[in-house]
Amino acid sequence: MQNVTESSGISKNFGTTKALNDISFSVNESEIFGFIGPDGAGKTTLFRIITTLMLPDEGEIKVFGMNCTTDYKELRKNIGYMPGRFSLYQDLTVEENLNFYATVFGTTVEENYELISDIYSHIEPFKKRAAGKLSGGMKQKLALSCALIHKPKLLVLDEPTTGVDAVSRSEFWDMLGKLRQHNITIIVSTPYMDEAMRCDKVALIQDGKILAIDAPQKIRDGFSRKLFTVKSVEKYKLLNTLRKYPMTLTAYPFGDSAHVTFINDMVDNSLFDYLIKEGISDAVVQAAEAGIEDRFLELMNKTE
Amino acid sequence: MKNQVITVKNLVKNFGSFVANDNLNFEVFRGEIFGFLGANGAGKTTTIRILSGLSKPTSGEVKVAGFDAYRQTEQIKKNIGYMCQKFSLYEDLTVKENIILYGGIYGISKSLIKERIAKLLANLRFQEYENRIIADLPLGLRQKLAFSVAVLHEPKIVFLDEPTGGVDPITRRQFWEMIYETASRGITVFVTTHYMDEAEYCDRISIMNEGKIVALDTPENLKKQYNAATIEDVFIKIARPVSLHPHPPAPFSQERRG
């Protein structure tokens, strides 16, 4: 498989802030590669470097074998970039924006229409509307269409699903899955941990450092303890009670249950005795498979 | 008998011919954590603006903290707190200055502000940041501080509009523990979120779609009713976004003032 992006030892500082600290990764052709991490982790800075819009202080990065620092003119023809903030012309119509981006890259909408038809067909009925007057979901589809109109080989999407509701997020990931058929490699960032499972490979990123890089399932497998879910109607009381239990290592709220690890990696009757003594008699305990977020929490605690 | 802090009966809000809130009916109780969910554009912001005294209903009955949403909006504002993801604190003021400013706005006496500053900073283990400007604080700390400031005046209800967007997983959990603690003191927490696992932390949730409330119950009951393993599954089953419709005018820009 061909290597699309290869980076080694990328660092970038803004004043005294280390935005990126020794970032190395490689992305293969037709892969969906996700950078998962909170705001301020360095995702946007990294994406600006990948898309040749910013230079790293240290390290080297190559895209399609070309150097991001010196070969940027050629590289930009091959990269489609959708920034986190909506950056199209608000006072141009949907159609005008799309034509504009096609023209800038020396192509036409007709030539590459097939690539965007799936996405663009949703907003085509409103092609005479100013881009600034579209809903969030429609803006997102237009921005994606504009990023794709020159048929790039690499698509870089900075937090395309942030602030988007669960249904639209799921639909967006379905669209990305379809783009894979056109041999487009996708680098995408998200703060939503659950979206990691939609990627072929993910890098967990926090404070400018990569905590882990692997296939999402392998990252889950990397969880080092036995994980249990504990459920009770009194969620907050349960959590505080579990934390006082001497054998508890970690206890975090996760949806309708608490995710708990124990020093001896097992559950016995003394836990139930303890919970009943503390007034929680309805606790249900089950062994569970760790998710991406469990692993992220574990890695965060290790680095702190 | 449970203590109602929000009562909404037959609430309708129109913007021109567009119906943003279509006959809403619900109640929220004292000390409850109430999750207010819905797809983008479903009408949540419109409702929150009415409940916080910033916008008046077209018709229907709305009471917040015992006050009427048509005539007593100023009293409503004094009895609620509000925090959203985008703006909550002044970035070029210090932590302490922000607390003093908000305390003053809410009419808390100087001596009481002093007392609450000390308590608040101690609770957040924030003493070392007292004289730092907000712009220099990590996002997670800012959001926790913003929440503390939103309940500084001990409101009856606090509205949280996507309070945890973009924060790291540890901070997100600490934030929810602050919510639990606040609710246990009797303050009602009214929260919107796009993190469906967070919906499970709520006592009850409502799901809005196209201006209507299409579901309202405890997370447990909703999962049973829709035969779903998680609230995300429930949400995907019933909260269809209107992807093929042009977006209605934004509620913030369209309302005529005066």
Beta strand segments in A152-234, E: 154-157, 185-190, 201-206, 209-214, 227-231
Indicate yes or no: CB of B41 within 8 angstroms of CB of A136: yes
- What would the pLDDT profile of A240-297 be if each residue is shown by its tens digit? 999 999 999 999 999 889 999 999 999 999 999 999 999 999 999 999 999 999 999 9
For chain A, where are the alpha helices, taking DSSP H only? 43-50, 72-76, 94-104, 113-120, 136-148, 166-179, 216-221, 235-244, 269-277, 292-303
Alpha-carbon distance of B38 to B206, in angstroms, equals: 8
Could you tell me the pLDDT band of residue B244, with boundaries at 50, 70 and 90? very low
Rounded to the nearest 10°, the torsion over CA B153, B158, B162, B167 is: 40
pLDDT for position A255: 86
For residue A298, CA distances in Å to A266, B77, B163, B177, B241 come to: 18, 41, 23, 19, 35
- Which residue is listed with tokens 């990023």? A147
ipTM for the complex shown: 0.84
Predicted pLDDT of residue A37: 93
Domain boundaries defined on chain A? 3-215, 227-303
- 3-state SS, residue B19: strand
Question: Between chains, do B197 and A254 touch, taking CB under 8 Å as contact?
Answer: yes
Question: Rounded to whole angstroms, how far apart are CA atoms A206 and A201?
Answer: 17
B36 chain-A contacts, CB cut-off 8 A: none
- Asked if A3-215 and A227-303 have one fold, the answer is no
pLDDT of residue B243 exceeding 50, the answer is: no
Domain with CATH 3.40.50.300 in chain B: 1-79+155-240
B124-155 in b/e burial notation, b at 16+ Cβ within 10 A? bebeebeeebbeebebbbbbbbbbbbbbbbeb
The whole-angstrom separation of Cα B145 and Cα B103 is 13
Sheet holding A3-14, edge to edge: A17-28, A3-14, A58-63, A66-67
- Which tens digits make up the pLDDT trace of A204-236? 999 999 999 999 999 999 999 999 999 998 888
DSSP state string for A77-127: TTEEEE-SS--S-TTSBHHHHHHHHHHHTT--TTTTHHHHHHHHTTTGGGT
- Closest by CA to A153, choosing from A255, A54, A240, A65, is A65
Give the bridge partners for B13, in sequence order: B21
Question: Chain B residues with CB-CB distance to A under 8 A?
Answer: 38-41, 138-140, 162, 165-171, 173, 176-177, 180-181, 184, 194-197, 200-201, 219-220, 230-232, 235-236, 239-241, 243-244, 246-247
Contacts of residue B200 in chain A, CB cutoff 8 Å? 255-256
Which CATH code, of 3.30.70.100, 2.40.10.10, 2.102.10.10, 3.40.50.1370, is assigned to A227-303? 3.30.70.100
Contact A191, A159 (CB under 8 A): yes
Q: Which residues pair with B133 in a beta bridge?
A: B94
Identify the CATH homologous superfamily for domain A3-215: P-loop containing nucleotide triphosphate hydrolases (3.40.50.300)
**Do A133 and B247 count as a contact with CB atoms less than 8 A apart?**
yes
Residue A209 makes CB contacts below 8 A (sequence gap 6+) with A21, A22, A23, A303
The average confidence (pLDDT) of chain A is: 93
Q: pLDDT-derived band of residue B238, with 50, 70 and 90 as boundaries?
A: confident
Span A148-154, average pLDDT: 96
Alpha-carbon gap, residue B6 to B29, rounded angstroms? 7
* Domain over B1-79+155-240 is classified CATH 3.40.50.300: yes
> Which of A173-182, A223-232, B82-91 shows the highest mean pLDDT?
A223-232
| Residue scoring higher pLDDT (B4 or B125) | B4
Confidence class for position B129, pLDDT limits 50, 70, 90? confident
Q: How far apart are CA B95 and CA B72, in angstroms?
A: 32
Residue B48's nearest CA partner among B86, B8, B9 is B8
